[in-house]
Amino acid sequence: MKTRALGNHTVGYFMLRMAHRLTSHHRALFSPKYLSGTSAHITTTSYFRAPFDVKDKDDFQKKVLASVKPVLVDFHAKLLMRNNMISQDSWCGPCKALSPKLDAIMGEKDGLLELAKVDIDVHSDLAMEYEVAGIPTVLGVKNGKVVNRFTGLIETKELREFVEKLLS
Q: What is the pLDDT along the chain (168 residues), one digit of tens a residue?
A: 555 555 544 545 444 444 444 444 444 444 454 455 544 444 444 445 678 899 999 999 999 999 999 999 999 987 655 555 555 566 788 888 898 999 999 988 888 999 999 999 899 999 999 999 999 999 999 999 999 999 999 999 999 999 999 998
For residue 33, is it within any domain? no
Please tell me the pTM assigned to this model: 0.66
Which CATH number covers residue 73?
3.40.30.10
Q: What is the largest CA-CA distance in the chain?
A: 78
For residue 24, is it within any domain? no
For residue 151, is it within any domain? yes
For residue 148, is it within any domain? yes
Task: State the catalytic residues.
Answer: 92, 95
By residue range, what is the domain housing residue 155? 52-167
DSSP letter string, 31-88: SHHHHHTTGGG----TT----EE--SHHHHIIIIIT-SS-EEEEEE---EEETTEEES
For residue 118, is it within any domain? yes
Q: Look at the chain and report how many structural domains it folds into.
A: 1
For residue 20, is it within any domain? no
Contacts of residue 100, Cβ cutoff 8 Å, sequence gap at least 6: none
Q: What is the DSSP letter of 126?
A: H
